[in-house]
Every structure is written in structure tokens, then in C-alpha cells.
Amino acid sequence: MQDRGWWFGAALSGALVVMAGAFGAHALEGALAPRLAAAFETGVRYQAWHTLALLAVLAWRATTPLVGQRLALGLWAGGMLLFSGSLYALALTGMGRWGMITPFGGVLLIAGWLALAAAVVRARPG
């Protein structure tokens, strides 16, 4: 299967999104300051959207592989790790220094979208 590792990673990310969402909604309910709860929820939301984007690009690659799609996948994976991961760590520890990592993850997420746009622009019409 082409991109088997990417499919596995996307499936794992999807499972983590559900677990993090449930954890945030139940175990953390009322335990976090509103600002930290909002940070946690933002991490879950961005991870969820980018997990869906990973799945969409993987499905697209199965029929129309383009140069640049894998770059987008990698940038999104790194972006989710840094962006969502730092927000989870910030919310769970309350240590503000985790927030310094978040913008780097955001830049990777944006770069992934730009890499995908460049892949589409470079594609030859068929």
C-alpha cells in the first residue's frame, strides 16, 4: 500500500484527537482556568482539521500523486506536533514557556498549505 506510514500516522492522529477531546471535555472540565481550557480546545481543533486534511491528501495521492503532496503531509505532521502538542503541554502544566513553541507549529501548518498550493500550481493539466 502506497503511503502506508502516512495512513497509519493519520489514523493514530485521529484516535488521539478523539481521546484528547474526550479528556478535555470530561477529565479536565472545571479543572483548568478558562484560558488554559481554551488553549487545549484550540489544540484539539487544529489537530482534528489537519488530520482530516492529511486523509484528504492521502486519498488524492492514491489517484493523482503530485510532487509536493508529501512535503505538505510532513509539514502538517510537524505542525500538529508543535502547535497542538505545545498547547496541550501549556494547558496541562500551566507553564507559559510552552506557548513559545506554538507559533513555530503554526508556521509549519501554514507552510504545509502553501506547499500544497505550489503542488497544484506545478501540476500539468490532464
pLDDT in tens, the chain (126 residues): 689 999 999 999 999 999 999 999 999 989 999 999 999 999 999 999 999 999 999 999 999 999 999 999 999 999 999 999 999 999 999 999 999 999 999 999 999 999 999 999 998 766
Is-contact 108 79, C-beta < 8 A? yes
From the list 113, 118, 105, the residue with the least C-alpha distance to 72 is 113
Q: What is the pTM of this model?
A: 0.95
From the list 69, 20, 27, 28, the residue with the least C-alpha distance to 46 is 20
Residue range(s) defining the domain that contains residue 117:
4-122
